[in-house]
Structure 1
Amino acid sequence: MKEQKRYEYGIARDAHAQLERWVADGSAAGLDGTVWDNRDDGHSTVNLDQLPGMERHMYSKADARTRGWGLQLQTRDNVTVGNSSTAHKQIDKGSQPRCAYSLPSGLSALRKQYTSNNLYIYPSHMDHIAGNIRKEKKQTKKWGNGHGDMYPTNTPYLIITQGSSGTDQPFIRAVGWTIGSFPKAVRKKLEAQGLLMPTVQSLMRLHQKNVSSREDYLSGQAHPAVFDRRNLDALQMMQAAHEMRPESIPPLVQLQVLSEDNMRAGYDFIGPPLLTEKHFTSPEVIARIWRGYPQRRVMQLSAKDTINPSGARLKYHWVVLRGPTDKVKITPLAPDHSEVQVEIEYPGRTESTWIDGMWSNRLDIGVFAESSQSISAPAFLTWMTLDNEQRNYDQQGNLQSIDYGTGRYVDPRLAVGMPFRDEFQYTGGKISGVTRNWKDGRQQIVQGGSRPEATDLRNAITAASKTAPSPELSSAKQPAKPSQRTVSPTLSEREAAMQRLSSSFNLELPTLLRRSTQMQGVDLYVTLNHIIRQAAASGDAQTSAIAYERLSREFTGDFEGCGEQALAQLAAGSKEHLTPSDVRSLCLMAIRIHQDVAGLDDMGRSQRIAQLAVSLARRTDDIPLQRDVIREVSLSMP
């Protein structure tokens, strides 16, 4: 590594000098108007003297460790190159990119940056360590003893660097020098059309030291999820940028899903209503997670909307970059290959062809547009299988069993392990029943219908999911029987009670909550409703959850939406301000709200609350809680 750093120092001197010469003779745009956004409080820095014209965005002392720390999900107006050599404590000390990739909202934020002339660089930390260790959550930096490639998708939105703190620095400099090396007219056009960072990505990937031919570029060797600083060639990136002209700007591939197999929670796999295989869909990244039972997926995709700045004729390439090529069939549907059909057989876990010992559950297909003068950065179609599942298919492609209790690690934001194995029975080639074998020796046999989509099979799967709740959660999760609950009071009754009780609403919430134990009827309803709202406004998750539990136990109705509003308000607050106990209370509150709304036959609200409940549970490392939440919102869906 010392030798590598000495080499990089030499490159920095040469690159800095070259950029200054080009700027001085007017052939390069330089870096005026660009910003470096450091988001680790100076932990991993670059010398801006080597990037003349680039300015550092300054955070206040208070913001440096809060709003200016870690993963950046905002988009800056200026051309921005950013970094943060930090890990993300919410996902088992995983990297910042894995945090973003695990959530559709995170990917959406990264896409906005990418198309708005922002590019951020983060280390992979321990999310990309060679090895095939699967059963431990604990990670290591020891090469050969890692979990492998843990990213659920691959994108051009970021640059992820191999290693930890400081490995981002040579990439920050290389990206900065490349931006400064474009001729003025080229940089102006790139910025105006949102093509600056896609072009930087194509140059970085094309001019790696381990990429010596077009064939290399159109392979997984050039497009890993994580990049090694030893392959970075900053001087070649600069030269290519300096030689670029408006007519040679590379295309930007834009994908569209024309059709695909749709798997539905409760029908084709176990899960809450909003859980889906469609993790993220954008013109540059289509990310899917294999949840449904069938062994095969078929998609039809188009790249006809590709942005083509040069106007030249384009040729398209669809290439398996990682994963088993023998399980992928790509059939052109148009002469220029701008439309294709992709057929994929369940890919499972495989070792990288390009990096020894780098195992992954992800399949990557890259899509490239090539003209006579340039070739694009890839757009991606990715499929991730869940490593906590052990699936067995027969020779006809029929799923024989899924073991959800393997103990193998999976990102808790994507799935949770469950302590049972499902075995499937078939009638006439269709699933007709499920036998569930629990780890404690219990067995349940449930008969379903003759079609996987049939309602009776959905009921069979749901019935097979039922199990006694854990004793700790049972009292909180069991809804009161309707006969024990009172209909919510009318508006006029509530208004009269609010006037009558107005003075008591000035009491502190703990005092008011104690007094409410002596109340009943409309007075109790109005008081609990008030406590729920006020506790949420002050960030008191525990009090809000306790008050809602009592309100739900005593009354029927939607309670003017007070529970949903409070839950959303508390969940939207700073994650650092919610203790594990707070999150647990909010999860139980969400389950009860979901049960109440399910009884109102409002699928839209029910689904929103189910999604929020699962999202809350996945903020924790409490796998049993995650399992309970997923089971409960699945079983109480309408």
Structure 2
Amino acid sequence: MRHNLLVASALCIAVVSAISLSASRVLADPGVLDDTNLQPVGNIALVAPDFEMPIMSDALPLVDPGDSSPEASMLRRLDNEGVAGGFEGIIYENRDGDHSRLDMGMFPRLPHLQFSDALKKKKAHLGLGGRIILPAIVVGNSSTAIVSGSAPRSQTRLAMTNPKLSAQALLTYISNHLYVYPEHRDYDAVDLYPVNWPYTLTSQGSSRSDKPFLRVLFFALAALPSDTRKTLQEKRLVAPTLQMILRRSLKGVYSRDKYMSGAAHPSAFHRDRLAPERMVSLAASLRPDEIPPIVVLEVEEESFLPKAGLAGLSERLFNTPASIGRIWRGPEYTKRMKVTAAATNDPNGRDLEFSWVLLQGDPEKVRIDPQGPGNTRAEISIDWHDTFEIGRGKKRKTNRVDIGVFAYNGAHDSAPSFISIAFPGHQIREYEMRGNYGKRLARIDYDAEARDHYYDPLLFWSAPWSDSFVYSPDGTLSSIWRLDQNGTTVLRDASHLENGAELEYQLTEKKRKRVLGLTKIEE
């Protein structure tokens, strides 16, 4: 069985086992999460198998009586008709110390998670969600960001650039948990996210920009028919289905083609694009036998290497079932991947048809060749991308290519799974034609620090020189001319001076910087 499926399956089994094997003991009050009997899920997270959901009175209104919005009117009608399943088995989790808490009066029948004093002392109620997994459907938020230290960033980017936190984000996704975080300067003039993924939702803006997303997610959850919600919870498909509902219902996304375009899948979403009444309608119409799957991706072959570039860092940021992250470090002009979605299973055994779509990037530089029955596999080739602009109206710059993979089960398209390639946009690269053999690297300027060009120090680095590459008539590398503040040095290759002396590279961590240096190894 493939690695990605094994990872997801192992996490699911660990969560289920922790819940099933829990011994009876003194329990906390309903709706209160404490630190007793928390079971580990590997080294990724903890599970609270003894957590007891509070019982909310059916006499309480489902939605604020003072809310006269179209979506509120629709939900009341669905509730009166017995279609809407309401909030049974669902709980809201705030993770910013009530800084951006959902108003309890907005959905009076919705329980709010409380943390024990012991957990609050451990700050378990703050920051990224997923540290403790509940046996419930959870939607939460943390309207916070890392604003100091060596690598300021949003909570979403923190998770994307830390292997353990990336695995934790996957765990929330397959455990019916979905969290919303603000982008806070990570998606303004420049898109700083190294990948796109469906594991979290990111709101455009900073503090409290996440609250409109909480509202529409709970409207959609409440509108789901009870049997649909129960099936979603059992199949661990609540979060993927919410992602599909939100994205398919965005303003401007009125067709299947538009859903399968970058317009429906940005790194961060603006509140003005939300259409909660459409979300309520789609959620209420979803039947158990129409639920789409999670698209499970696996790389079969690739030219992205475990060690590449002068620093010898991996080009494989992470492999997870619904998001594959790659970082371009090597000198190549073109890289290739073979990816399969064969491990994807429809929850109702329906036949699946896959769509592999370029969501972000230059269509002249990305070639996707779907193959096999139902387009189960694809061969992908990507050419080097300089920094490019995305969006309409207010544009922003990006250094990332996104490919979305969707599964259609005859009723609905799934939420996308993503293949993302992040380019080192802080480098200035020049490629030249090599006859009929494509392009090769001619020059590269590594000195982002001298140009005061931002780069993510958790992923990339700067070096105080530029390299020009000289090739022999047969196309092999002849020498490298390295220019720094002391002048030009001729290298035989990246690891040796012209006289054969060996060079060694070292990365040095500095405040908000990571700089590559080199030393000559004396014979």
TM category, shorter: 0.7 to 0.9
What is the rounded CA distance, in whole Å, between the counterparts of 1:282 and 1:116 in structure 2? 15
What is the rounded CA distance, in whole Å, between the counterparts of 1:59 and 1:441 in structure 2? 59
Deviation at 1:234, TM superposition (A): 1.3
Correspondence for 2:144 among 79, 86, 90 = 86
Structure 1 residues 622 and 331, CA, compared in 2 at 3 Å: closer, same or farther? Answer: closer
For the pair 1:437 / 2:483, whether they are aligned, the reply is yes
Identity score, percent: 32
| 1:53 corresponding residue in structure 2 | 109
Secondary structure in structure 2 of the residue aligned to 1:128: coil
| 2:94 corresponding residue in structure 1 | 38
TM-score by length of 2: 0.79
| 2:454 corresponding residue in structure 1 | 409
Correspondence for 1:627 among 496, 515, 518 = 515
Secondary structure in structure 2 of the residue aligned to 1:242: helix
For the pair 1:421 / 2:466, whether they are aligned, the reply is yes
Comparing 184-193 and 62-71, the one that deviates more:
62-71
Q: Which runs of 5+ in 1 are unaligned?
A: 1-7, 130-145, 449-456, 468-590, 592-613
User: Contact conserved, 1:418 with 1:627, CA < 8 A, in 2?
Assistant: yes
Aligned counterparts, 1:495-534, within 5 A: none
| 2:176 corresponding residue in structure 1 | 117
Structure 1 residues 75 and 13, CA, compared in 2 at 3 Å: closer, same or farther? Answer: farther
User: Contact conserved, 2:356 with 2:370, CA < 8 A, in 1?
Assistant: no
Partner AA of 2:249 in structure 1: H
| 2:6 corresponding residue in structure 1 | none
Aligned counterparts, 1:88-237, within 5 A: 88-89=146-147, 90=149, 92-129=151-188, 146=189, 148-237=190-279
What is the rounded CA distance, in whole Å, between the counterparts of 2:497 and 2:417 in structure 1? 40
Q: Which runs of 5+ in 2 are unaligned?
A: 1-63
What is the rounded CA distance, in whole Å, between the counterparts of 2:197 and 2:67 in structure 1? 28
Comparing 332-341 and 348-357, the one that deviates more:
348-357
Deviations 1:496-555 (A, max 9, x none): xxxxxxxxxxxxxxxxxxxxxxxxxxxxxxxxxxxxxxxxxxxxxxxxxxxxxxxxxxxx
Deviations 1:383-435 (A, max 9, x none): 11112211111023110111110331111101121110012222322224322
Structure 1 residues 11 and 342, CA, compared in 2 at 3 Å: closer, same or farther? Answer: farther
What is the rounded CA distance, in whole Å, between the counterparts of 2:338 and 2:153 in structure 1? 34
| 2:43 corresponding residue in structure 1 | none
Which structure's relative contact order is higher, taking Cα pairs within 8 Å and 6+ residues apart? 2
Secondary structure in structure 2 of the residue aligned to 1:336: helix
| 1:74 corresponding residue in structure 2 | 131
Structure 1 residues 290 and 124, CA, compared in 2 at 3 Å: closer, same or farther? Answer: same
Deviations 1:433-479 (A, max 9, x none): 322211x133221214xxxxxxxx65569967558xxxxxxxxxxxx
TM-score by length of 1: 0.66
Partner AA of 2:126 in structure 1: W
What is the rounded CA distance, in whole Å, between the counterparts of 2:108 and 2:351 in structure 1? 38
Structure 1 residues 263 and 431, CA, compared in 2 at 3 Å: closer, same or farther? Answer: farther
Partner AA of 1:242 in structure 2: A
What is the rounded CA distance, in whole Å, between the counterparts of 1:372 and 1:262 in structure 2? 35
Number of equivalent positions: 446
What is the rounded CA distance, in whole Å, between the counterparts of 1:217 and 1:152 in structure 2? 22
Deviations 1:546-605 (A, max 9, x none): xxxxxxxxxxxxxxxxxxxxxxxxxxxxxxxxxxxxxxxxxxxxx9xxxxxxxxxxxxxx
Identify the structure with the greater helix proportion.
1
What is the rounded CA distance, in whole Å, between the counterparts of 2:65 and 2:185 in structure 1? 26
Aligned counterparts, 1:295-374, within 5 A: 295-354=333-392, 356-374=394-412
What is the rounded CA distance, in whole Å, between the counterparts of 2:65 and 2:357 in structure 1? 36
Deviations 1:86-120 (A, max 9, x none): 12134654211111112222221111101111101
What is the rounded CA distance, in whole Å, between the counterparts of 2:181 and 2:316 in structure 1? 25
| 1:285 corresponding residue in structure 2 | 323
Identify the structure with the greater strand proportion.
2
Partner AA of 1:423 in structure 2: S
Structure 1 residues 75 and 66, CA, compared in 2 at 3 Å: closer, same or farther? Answer: closer
What is the rounded CA distance, in whole Å, between the counterparts of 2:304 and 2:212 in structure 1? 43
Secondary structure in structure 2 of the residue aligned to 1:167: coil
Deviation at 1:174, TM superposition (A): 1.1
Which structure would you say has the larger Rg?
1
Secondary structure in structure 2 of the residue aligned to 1:326: coil
Deviation at 1:21, TM superposition (A): 4.6
What is the rounded CA distance, in whole Å, between the counterparts of 1:151 and 1:622 in structure 2? 17
| 1:566 corresponding residue in structure 2 | none
User: Contact conserved, 1:155 with 1:285, CA < 8 A, in 2?
Assistant: yes
User: Contact conserved, 1:11 with 1:234, CA < 8 A, in 2?
Assistant: no
| 2:441 corresponding residue in structure 1 | 399
Partner AA of 1:237 in structure 2: M
Deviation at 1:282, TM superposition (A): 1.2
| 2:83 corresponding residue in structure 1 | 27
Structure 1 residues 10 and 239, CA, compared in 2 at 3 Å: closer, same or farther? Answer: farther
What is the rounded CA distance, in whole Å, between the counterparts of 2:66 and 2:289 in structure 1? 33
